[in-house]
Amino acid sequence: MSIQSTIEARLKEIFAPERLDVINESHLHAGHHHTEAGHVETFDGTGETHFRVRIVSAMFTGMNRVERHRKVNEALAHELKNGLHALAIEPAAPGEKTRW
């Protein structure tokens, strides 16, 4: 199963979202440098390492932005420890305006 599919399944299971978009943005980070195992490497932009999550869920009602981000990060803790390098999160409750 791909990382993207795993992220989608996990978020659907936990948040029962009205809307969910999981976008692989790894290619946008080609040429960026990161440190791994004590040395600097240049990222080639391939794979599944950088994602944007746009999610609308009733579970976010009454939560502030930081609380929402924490909940998504907790839900994806395993993926963040095992290859997922960056996660941009755009959470909303039903009825809230979004930029997307």
Residue 51 pLDDT > 90: yes
Assign 45 a pLDDT band (cuts: 50, 70, 90): very low
Domain for residue 37, yes or no?
no
Domain for residue 8, yes or no?
yes
pLDDT value, residue 17:
98
What's the whole-model pTM score?
0.81
Domain for residue 72, yes or no?
yes
What CATH number does residue 4 fall under? 3.30.300.90
- Bridge-based pairing state of the strands 50-56 and 86-92: parallel
Q: What is the DSSP string of 39-98?
A: EEEE--S-SS-EEEEEEE-GGGTT--HHHHHHHHHHHTHHHHHTT--EEEEEEE-TT---
Q: How many domains does the chain have?
A: 1
Domain for residue 30, yes or no?
no
**Taking the chain, what is the end-to-end CA distance rounded to the nearest angstrom?**
27
CA distance 18 to 78: 24
Domain boundaries, position 96: 1-16+47-100
Residue 28 pLDDT > 90: no
Rounded to the nearest integer, the mean pLDDT of the chain is 87
Domain for residue 94, yes or no?
yes
- What angle do the packed helices 3-15 and 65-75 form, to 10 degrees? 120
